[in-house]
C-alpha cells in the first residue's frame, strides 16, 4: 500500500499561480495528478515517471502547468500558472507501480484531494 497526502491548495485569482504537492509513503514509478469538478468525471491533469523521462499533460493545461518529482522525498508537485476559473477543482494525487497513461482506472493509490479555487 501507498499513502498519499496532498497539500498546497487554496484560493487564487485568475491569472495567478499556485503549487500543489503530494508526499508518498514510499516511491512508485508513476505519480501525478487528476482533478474533479462537481458534475464532471475525474479528469487527468499530469503524470510523471520516476525519473521524469516520461511526462504527460492534459491538453487543457499544457504550457501552464509543470509537474516535477523529488524522489529523495517521495514527492510530486504541480506548479500551476496562468490559472483560469475552469481550473477550479479538487486536485487528487495518484500513483501507480507502472506507467498507465491518462486513465484513472490504472492508478490504485489516491490521496484525499486538495481544493483549488480560481476566482474570476
Q: Rounded mean pLDDT of the chain? A: 96
Q: How far is Cα 18 from Cα 80, in angstroms, rounded to an integer?
A: 5
Between the two ends of the chain, the Cα-to-Cα distance in Å is 39
Residue 111 scores a pLDDT above 90: yes
Q: How many beta carbons lie within 10 A of that of residue 20, not counting itself?
A: 26
Per-residue pLDDT band for 101 (boundaries 50, 70, 90) equals: confident
Percentage with pLDDT > 70 across the chain: 100
Contact assessment for residue 83 and residue 18, using Cβ atoms and an 8 Å cutoff: yes
If you search the block for the grid coordinates 521524469, which residue do you land on?
52
Averaged pLDDT, 115-120: 97
Percentage with pLDDT > 90 across the chain: 91
Residue 54 scores a pLDDT above 90: yes
Per-residue pLDDT band for 43 (boundaries 50, 70, 90) equals: very high
pLDDT at 52: 87
Interacting residues of 11 by C-beta distance below 8 A, sequence separation 6+: 117, 118, 119
Amino acid at each position: 500500500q501507498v499513502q498519499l497526502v496532498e497539500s498546497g491548495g487554496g484560493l487564487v485569482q485568475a491569472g495567478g499561480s499556485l503549487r500543489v504537492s503530494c508526499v508518498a509513503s514510499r516511491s512508485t514509478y508513476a505519480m501525478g495528478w487528476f482533478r474533479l469538478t462537481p458534475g464532471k468525471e475525474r479528469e487527468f491533469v499530469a503524470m510523471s515517471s520516476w525519473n521524469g523521462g516520461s511526462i504527460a499533460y492534459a491538453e487543457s493545461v499544457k504550457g501552464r502547468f509543470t509537474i516535477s518529482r523529488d524522489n529523495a522525498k517521495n514527492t510530486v508537485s504541480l506548479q500551476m500558472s496562468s490559472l483560469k476559473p475552469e481550473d477550479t477543482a479538487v486536485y487528487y494525487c495518484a500513483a501507480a507501480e507502472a506507467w498507465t497513461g491518462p486513465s484513472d482506472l490504472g492508478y490504485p493509490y489516491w490521496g484525499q484531494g486538495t481544493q483549488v479555487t480560481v476566482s474570476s
